[in-house]
Amino acid sequence: MSHTVLITGGAGYIGAHTATVFLQAGYQVVIFDNLSNSNADVIDRVGQITGQAPSLVRGDIRDPQALQSLFTAHRFEGIVHLAGLKAVGESVQNPLLYDDNNVHGSMRLLRAALDHGVHRFVFSSSATVYGDPQYLPYDEAHPAHTQTNPYGRTKRSVELMLDRKS
C-alpha cells in the first residue's frame, strides 16, 4: 500500500524540494497550490529528478469546496503545509490579505484535515514569530510574543491553533 502526503504550496521553492524528498522516500505526493507564487512547470522538473511526478491539484486553501474535493479524492497519511504568503513588507501594506490567506486558509485546511481523519501535520512557520531577538541564535525556548509585523503574527496565530489539543 502506498502512502500519500499532501503538500500545500508544493509548487514553490521549498515545496518542490520537499516533494522531491518524499517521492525519493517512496511516498505518493499530491501538491495543492493556487500557483500565485509558483509555476506548474516545477512539477515536471520534480518528475525528471525523481522519475515520478507528483500530482498537482490547483486550488486555494481558503476554498472549502476545493478542500472537500481534494480530501474526498485522496486519502492522506499526512500534510506538509507550506501554502502561505511570505513577504514582510507586503504584509504591512495589506495585513488583511495575510490574515485571510495565512490564518483563515490554514484554519480551513486544518478543519478539512480533521474532518477526514488526518492528524499528521507539519507547518512551515518562520523565525519572525520571535520578533526582535532577545538572544541569538533563536531556539524553541525563545519568547514568541513580540512579533513586529503582520506576517509574523499570522504565523504565530497558526502555531497557536496547532498547539490546541482539540
What residues are labeled active site? 151
CA 99 to chain centre: 15
Cβ(12)–Cβ(22) under 8 Å?
no
Rounded Cα distance between 80 and 22, Å, is 11
The torsion angles phi and psi of 55, rounded to 5 degrees, stand at -80, 140
Beta carbons of 85 and 101 less than 8 angstroms apart: yes
Q: Rg of the chain over CA atoms, in angstroms?
A: 16
Half-sphere exposure of 161 (CA within 13 A, CB side): 21
